Structure 1
């Protein structure tokens, strides 16, 4: 387990939830890949646009990590929060303390299956 990878993903969530775009972009690689149910995009410009218009809060739950991949169970913010989304999970690729990819999944099981992580990779 890498404390650095976990810290990067937690800081990324904090920056997103606080609408701190400068920190969010600093924690992300120039060519970050972003994918989810609504489609895919690449680059800091796409991340900035998504983060500035999404108006959502995603609170990290259980985390799983192995070889630079971090899967996070995500719980949406308060029910009255704008941009409310369903609970789900995201798979992050972290390289040199920067998020290089984030893929949102509808649930934890599909995120774990897509990354070949298992319950043995849970952060305790």
Structure 2
């Protein structure tokens, strides 16, 4: 298949495919007419890349998965290098979760402090009178 068809089937653009080619993730095969040619294995590799990127993997992190597919494995994550990337990504995600949990605790503590301050202030002072509302006429 040609580049436009591959882009359509993969849900991406020809520009993206050329970029992947320049990064060595997509083979640069050319037909006798000079056009780029691709096969189902290329489509499978692109789908693997897209799935991993949807999970937050950067493009370089997808390389071991693509290489695993190209080595003939039916799944791109059945090679030792792919498993190492999974482990690394999980470690990175765990660190982010820990960081977000700590930030959440701080924000929760600030909210609790602010709510207590509002309650304490309301107990000390009468509610302000709105001067802009409708006036009641005096008798």
Higher relative contact order (CA 8 A, sep 6+): 1
Decide which structure has greater strand share.
1
Q: Normalized against structure 2, the TM-score is what?
A: 0.27
Q: Which has the larger radius of gyration?
A: 2
Decide which structure has greater helix share.
2
